Amino acid sequence: MDRGKNKENRGPEADLQHDQAAGHKSQTGALTGMVRAVPIILGYLPVGLAFGVLATTNGLSPFGALGMSIFVFAGSAQLISVGMIGAGANVAAITTTVFLVNLRHLLMSAYLAPYLKRLKIWQLALFSYELTDETFAVHSAFFRRSGVPPSAELFALNHSSHLAWIIGTILGVWIGGRINFDIEAIGIDYALPAMFIALLVMQIDNVRRVFIALLAAAIGLFLYLAGMSQFYIIAATVIAATAGVIMEYREEKNSSSPADGGENPGGEERRREELEKNIHDGEKNGGQKSGRVKGEGQKTTAESPGGEEKESNR
């Protein structure tokens, strides 16, 4: 009741201070999100530029290229679409290909969904709209390590990445219309793999993840040399990810087992019961000891008058 009165009688100055504090917190979160987006921005600018150049050289209008970067915002899907447009593919083929390429977003969204329960529907829609492979990698690593940051930080990271992609596209469209050069010759096409390598290095923080990264690389190289040039990336990813899940499960299971190393699903419950028993026994022993001390004191007190009486009778 008093809390409600205090809230009502807080006054405009207190409300202003509260709003200023909330605004400062939001600005701090937004700045943090922009800083965390720097590795993605450094990768998106050159790759977006490469897309802009490819789009104009394959017959896409400047507004068409810019519209794809704003509304599609999917690097691999956009690059594939531009190549198919240049090859003369029809709309149905391009749409189907883009849909299949972006199916991985179902898995990424399903993984992040438990962390984003506090967001509203429109916030979830905006977050998923700007979710890419790179932002997913940064978000998932941060969620596992530090939990879910404020909403301002989440969206600042996504918005900064999206803006970098749009700016790169604009630069590519402008350059593509004026300068004719080979993108592969100057190495711009390597910007995307380089960015993924940087994100991978940021996530390797223990021996298990180092092993999984090396395993994926070895499997991918073996399958590529064996002639599976169409499926070696997907196969290597699935196999290495499965191995990582199994290793993580075994580590968690071993860490929850007793110190002797044996498997004991009820070990945690048994240790809890033993702890409660020790506490109960300690309280019981303490009570018995207190009772003995009290009894001995009463016995001494009772014997003392008797002794005095015996002395007086003498």
**Whole-number percent of the chain with pLDDT over 70:** 68
* Separation in Å, CA 168 to CA 63, 164, 209, 313: 14, 6, 32, 115
Contact 40, 161 (CB under 8 A): yes
CB atoms closer than 10 angstroms to residue 172: 29
Average pLDDT over residues 272-291: 57
pLDDT in tens, 56-83: 888 889 999 999 999 999 888 888 888 8
Cα 30 versus chain centre, distance: 17
Q: What is the pLDDT of residue 84?
A: 83
Identify the CA nearest to 65 among candidates 222, 172, 219: 172
The pLDDT value given to residue 300: 47
The upper half-sphere exposure of residue 107, i.e. CA atoms within 13 Å in the direction of its Cβ, equals 8
pLDDT at 245 (0 to 100)? 86
Tell me: the pLDDT tens digits for 14-39? 544 444 455 556 678 889 999 999 99
Q: Does the pLDDT value for residue 286 go beyond 80?
A: no
pTM: 0.59
Q: What's residue 305's pLDDT?
A: 47
Judged against a pLDDT cut of 90, whether residue 136 lies above it is answered with yes
What was the pLDDT predicted at 257?
60
pLDDT at 254 over 60: yes
Average pLDDT value over all residues in the chain: 77
Amino acid at 80: I
Q: What is the pLDDT of residues 111-130, one digit of tens each?
A: 899 999 999 999 999 999 99
Q: Model confidence over 152-209: pLDDT tens digits?
A: 999 999 999 999 999 999 999 998 777 766 666 766 667 667 767 776 787 787 888 8
Helices vs strands, H then E, count in the chain: 15, 0
pLDDT computed for residue 275 by the predictor? 60
Q: Residue 215: pLDDT band by 50, 70, 90 thresholds?
A: very high
pLDDT value at position 253? 83
